[in-house]
Amino acid sequence: MNLNEYNALRRVTDAVRAADSAFCEDFYNDEPFTEKTFELLKDLLDNLSDLYSISDMIIDNETYRRDARKHRRIVAG
């Protein structure tokens, strides 16, 4: 994982944590669902979607790098 990938993953993970915390705080205060609750849930789901996308990108990039290293070893072998 390179530094840009790490930083992107870190930012989106922090955003998911913040959205989760805000949603849980609002959800578990035993009040009925409000527009704010739905907005917080939407933010959480959007951030989770970003997290999955970035994670997939990092996994794909790492797989490509490993395959390229393996190919170079075979060719040089």
> What per-residue confidence (pLDDT) applies to 77?
65
> What per-residue confidence (pLDDT) applies to 44?
93
Spell out the residues 6+ positions from residue 16 whose beta carbon is closer than 8 angstroms to its own. Answer: 44, 47, 48, 51
For the stretch 7-52, pLDDT in tens is 999 999 999 999 999 899 888 887 788 898 889 999 999 999 999 9
Regarding pTM above 0.75, the answer is no
For the stretch 41-65, pLDDT in tens is 999 999 999 999 999 999 999 999 9
Measured between alpha carbons, how far is 43 from 53 in angstroms, rounded to an integer?
A: 15
Domain ranges for the chain:
3-76
